[in-house]
Amino acid sequence: MVSYKELGLVNTREMFAKAINGGYAIPAFNFNNMEQLQAIIKASAETKSPVILQVSKGARNYANQTLLRYMAQGAVEYAKELGWEHPQICLHLDHGDTFELCKSCVDFGFSSVMIDGSSLPYEENIALTKKVVEYAHQYDVTVEAELGVLAGVEDDVQAEESHYTKPEEVIDFATRTGCDSLAISIGTSHGAYKFKPEQCTRDPKTGKLVPPPLAFDVLDAIMEKLPGFPIVLHGSSSVPQEYVDIINTYGGKMPDAVGIPEEQLRKAAKSAVCKINIDSDSRLAFTAAVRKVFAEKPGEFDPRKYCGPARDEMTKLYKHKIIEVLGSNGKAE
Ligand code: G3H
Ligand code: 13P
Ligand code: ZN
């Protein structure tokens, strides 16, 4: 058993309370490799932003859970080396799908876990979430739950259509499970193709897709039922068109990739939405930078020469999210 407290990590409780009161949101960035982690920590340290490092089941399989844990531990020290005296870094399991996986993360030094029972029938979601909460809270590990289903890929689960969270269920769910935060469905979805072209309109000048707005009425109704309760938005990448264009210019093929417009996320960040999940945008930044180097310098074969520019591009992206979208800069001095 390793306690996250020994690793210098923090859970989400205080982070979320401050974010709700302060009208900003905490960035939750996924990482799978060293370059992503370096970029996240550099951006957070330079902006003094609290940050959530997210590890998915896929990331654990890709990078090895032991290595990832030590990387997160190293990240705290790296942050201090960068001059961030009191880093506020949370290590969070993203989309945990079983009690055993959540328990293993709690036992292994994670400070927060998500149990995603959103694809289960309501009562089964409650029972599973409650079991994880009871275990995690013994070690002061915070738990995120999910109610409502996002369109697109929910980890391994393909959800063709999104089912918005039902506001009439949230009080019962939060009370009976004891969860610390709730991920909701209001129209966001995972990946780089968040809406089908037929769900969007087209900008007549650029020909680019303009996505439909998020269901802020559903968010408002949830906030009314659970005043001050921490709400989480998954699937919140904006799919920057400049990255999509670079990828397509240099041999990629990502037609009609579209994300959540930043102004909608800015609006959400000012509400009880206090954690905003971003993964795909970092993948796009990485891929765009690597494709550019490969196209312009076809003789290059030192991975540092293309992973380095990718890391710089991700750092720029993370800082942009922190300062221009979520408003979490300067909140962890
Ligand atoms: O919500 C999903 C995250 O973007 C993680 O994706 O399962 O491919 O690691 P992954
Ligand atoms: P994106 O695919 O929009 O980046 O969402 C990531 C996410 O929700 C991770 O849990
Ligand atoms: Zn997610």
Mean pLDDT of the chain: 95
On whether residue 39 sits in a domain, the answer given is yes
94 is catalytic: yes
The dihedral built from the CA positions of residue 225, 230, 236 and 238, taken in this order, carries a sign that is positive
Evaluate: CB of 279 within 6 angstroms of ligand 2.
Answer: yes
Residue nearest atom 9 in ligand 1 by C-alpha distance: 58
CA angle 179, 235, 58 (to 5 degrees): 80
Give the pLDDT band (50/70/90) at residue 157: very low
On whether residue 308 sits in a domain, the answer given is yes
pLDDT (mean) for 230-245: 98
Q: Which CATH number does the domain housing residue 139 bear?
A: 3.20.20.70
Evaluate: CB of 73 within 6 angstroms of ligand 2.
Answer: no
Ligand 2, residue 190: give the atom nearest the CA: 2
Mutate to test the pocket of ligand 1, among 56, 114, 162 (most ligand atoms within 8 A of CB): 56
- What is the model's pTM? 0.96
Among 94, 97, 116, 281, which one carries the catalytic annotation?
Answer: 94
pLDDT of residue 158 exceeding 90, the answer is no
CB 182 within 8 A of CB 170: yes
Give the pLDDT band (50/70/90) at residue 105: very high
Per-residue DSSP letter, 108: B
Ligand 2, residue 280: give the atom nearest the CA: 4
Evaluate: CB of 236 within 6 angstroms of ligand 2.
Answer: yes
Query: Looking only at Cα atoms, what is the longest distance across the chain?
Result: 60
On whether residue 332 sits in a domain, the answer given is no
**pLDDT the model gives residue 206:** 86
Q: Which residues line ligand 1 (CB under 6 A)?
A: 30, 56, 58-59, 94-95, 155, 190, 279
User: 109 — alpha (psi -120 to 50), left (phi > 0) or beta?
Assistant: left
Ligand 2, residue 95: give the atom nearest the CA: 10
Q: Which helix (H) or strand (E) element contains residue 98?
A: none
pLDDT in tens, 255-301: 999 999 999 999 999 999 999 999 999 999 999 999 999 999 999 99
Query: For residue 36, which amino acid is it?
Result: Q
237 C-alpha vs ligand 2 centroid, how far in Å? 6
Please, which residues have CB within 8 angstroms of residue 115's CB and are 6 or more apart in sequence?
A: 96, 97, 99, 102, 128, 129, 132, 143, 144, 145, 146
On whether residue 234 sits in a domain, the answer given is yes
CB 229 within 8 A of CB 221: no
Please, which residues have CB within 8 angstroms of residue 178's CB and are 6 or more apart in sequence?
A: 130, 133, 134, 137, 143
Range of the domain at 226: 4-326
Q: How many domains, in total, are found in the chain? A: 1
296 C-alpha vs ligand 3 centroid, how far in Å? 34
CA angle 23, 27, 28 (to 5 degrees): 135
CB 236 within 8 A of CB 276: yes
**pLDDT the model gives residue 154:** 46
Tokens of 174: 């939060």
From residue 62, alpha-carbon distances to 55, 56, 140, 237, 245 in Å are: 10, 10, 28, 22, 28
Selection from 83-87, 154-158, 161-165 with the highest mean pLDDT: 83-87
**pLDDT the model gives residue 156:** 47
Residue nearest atom 5 in ligand 1 by C-alpha distance: 56
Q: Which helix (H) or strand (E) element contains residue 164?
A: none
**pLDDT the model gives residue 207:** 85
On whether residue 331 sits in a domain, the answer given is no
**pLDDT the model gives residue 161:** 60
Please, which residues have CB within 8 angstroms of residue 270's CB and are 6 or more apart in sequence?
A: 23, 24, 327
30 C-alpha vs ligand 3 centroid, how far in Å? 9
On whether residue 333 sits in a domain, the answer given is no
Burial class of residue 117 (count of CB atoms within 10 Å of its CB; 0-12, 13-18, 19+): buried
